[in-house]
Amino acid sequence: MRFYNYLKTHLLIEGGNAIPTSVRINAQNVTATLQSVYNAIFPALRITKNDIRLLGSAGKKTSPSGDLDIAVSTQALILNNNLETFEDVCTFLEDKLKTISNKVIVMKGLGTVSVE
């Protein structure tokens, strides 16, 4: 699948440079950090591990990673939360994620949501 086509059906949720106070994740902490994300965020979004894909280098290399890049199926968000449009998805994500973190940046034009 071409990356552009993938982006049309997935949003990218990430930390990193979009959040100035984020810190690097040591390789040995990636699994526990992902589990924490799954436990804290996925129930609120009504998605499962099957609705996401881990992108980037986190967990794939031994050196620290700058962030976690997670692609989330917009189709799953729409179906599981009675949403209709991409705009609805962005608003829904912003509202839900702000209950977990006060540092949420939605970049609709890039299809990206950054969370600390």
Give the domain ranges of the chain.
3-115
Q: In what order do the strands lie in the sheet with 69-73?
A: 52-55, 69-73, 10-14, 112-115, 104-107
Dihedral sign for Cα 7, 8, 9, 13, please.
positive
Mean pLDDT of the chain: 78
Distance, in Å, from the CA atom of 27 to the CA atom of 78, rounded to the nearest integer, reads: 33
**DSSP designation for 85:** S
Give me the pLDDT at residue 51, please.
92
Q: Is the confidence at residue 99, as pLDDT, over 80?
A: yes
Give me the pLDDT at residue 1, please.
47
**Could you tell me which residue, 109 or 41, shows the higher pLDDT?**
41
% of the chain surpassing 70 pLDDT? 78
Give me the pLDDT at residue 80, please.
96
pLDDT in tens, 33-56: 888 888 888 899 999 989 988 887
Cβ neighbours of 107 (radius 10 Å): 13
Cβ neighbours of 98 (radius 10 Å): 13
